[in-house]
Chain A
Amino acid sequence: MSLIRAGLKRLVNIFSSGHGGVLSRFITNIAPSQQQLVVETQKKVIATCNRLIEEKPSRNFAIVHLLGKQWRVTDGDLLVVEGYWPPNIGDKIKLDKVLLAATKDFSLIGRPLVQPGLVTVTATVISKGLSHTRTHFKKKRRKQFMRINFQRAQQTMLRINSVEIANKINEDSRNVF
């Protein structure tokens, strides 16, 4: 279970700070006391997060692992990944390795990945091509040594279609793989 997070902290702050706060709209019984059981607060935080997801107040972002690199992505982003990568133009893919996902109000932190099925990042391959020519030039002075090579790397351009968080935080994850 890749779970909750320290942003619990932020929500708890909002809970315990009485009136005001972002969540005051959604909460009827404000300000539970400090002595409240931790577990109960946790449940409440999770419930609130789930509700916030349903309301969709803001854009989400996620950090995904792709081809050995980590990318911070949000809706409509354009990624250029370099190197050999099989997907073809027009392919729609789901980026499953989500390390972190967040909205305006809370963030989900994976250890190391958030549970499968919770965060859906979809992307489309929009173009494949080559990078500009990189010149590899070596020269040693006074040694009559000179080498020149040219290289171009394969590049794939990806458009991030959506970053969505499902409202089932803390539910049992069925391993889809």
Chain B
Amino acid sequence: MVFLTISNLIRARGPDEFWRKRRIFRLAAHFIGRRRNCYSVAVRNVHRALVYATKARKLKKQDMKDLWNTRISAACEQHNITAFTLKEGLDRSNIMLDRKSLSDVASWEPKTFECLAAIAKQKLQLDGFIDTVDKKHPTGVNLNLKDVMLDAWLKEKK
């Protein structure tokens, strides 16, 4: 790089020191102690906080997924089936509810969820699929599949 203008030889130091620091202090306003009052400490912590905030946006999505999974498997336990059975059964019968709506239904519309569980179980029974997940200590009440009359519906090719 060749500078023809003499003033370009001076290193540009960005905006005025006051405003540069003020920007950081604004972001550190809710910190405690020296973290909000001393620039050299504040700037380190602000950078760290911003990195966390950026990464957390991805983590939040994972956390929500985990939460939904927990809710779904808890609701499945009530009906003595595994979350895997539910997912497999619903997939096979072409019901495409995602984790979010399944957990929503499980927590707010338990009767509808019971129906979904019954469908899934019935479908696997019709397919002759055996869920090999060990269930030594059943915690819920077995679904009453006697009253589920969906044979024709579930055998229908979709």
Contacts and interface: CB of A to CB of B under 8 A. Distances in A.
Interface of A: 1, 3-10, 12-13, 16, 38, 41-42, 61, 63, 69-72, 99-100, 102, 107, 109-112, 134-139, 146, 148
Q: Is the interface of B mostly helix, strand, loop or mixed?
A: helix
Chain B: interface size category: 20 to 34
Contacts of B100: 69-70
A4 B154 CA distance: 11
Nearest to A72: B104
B101 A109 contact: no
Determine which residue in B53, B119, B147 has the highest number of CB atoms from chain A within 10 A of its CB, and name it.
B147
Given A41-B149, A110-B95, A6 B105 contact: no
15 contacts: A3-B153, A6-B114, A6-B150, A8-B147, A9-B118, A10-B111, A63-B105, A69-B100, A72-B101, A107-B112, A109-B116, A112-B94, A135-B54, A137-B51, A137-B53
A9 B94 CA distance: 20
B121 to A, nearest CB: 9
Contacts of A112: 94-96
Given A111-B93, A137-B53, 6 more contacts: A4-B150, A4-B153, A8-B148, A8-B149, A72-B108, A107-B112
Contacts of A9: 115, 118, 144, 147-149
B98 interface: yes
A7 B150 contact: no
A102 B50 contact: no
Nearest to A41: B149
A69 B54 CA distance: 23
A46 to B, nearest CB: 12
A102 B109 contact: yes
A83 to B, nearest CB: 15
Interface in B104-142: 104-105, 108-109, 111-112, 114-116, 118-119, 122
B41 interface: no
Contact of B158 (A69, A109, A111, A148): A111
A63 B101 contact: yes
Interface string B39-65: 000000001001101100100000000
A133 B150 CA distance: 50
Nearest to B120: A6
Contact of B97 (A42, A70, A134): A70
Contacts of B118: 6, 9
Contacts of A72: 101, 104-105, 108
Nearest to A102: B112
Interface string B16-36: 000000000000000000000
Given A9-B144, A41-B149, A109-B95, A139 B122 contact: no
A69 B153 CA distance: 27
Contact of B149 (A12, A69, A146, A148): A12
A38 B95 CA distance: 23
A111 B111 CA distance: 19
A139 B47 contact: yes
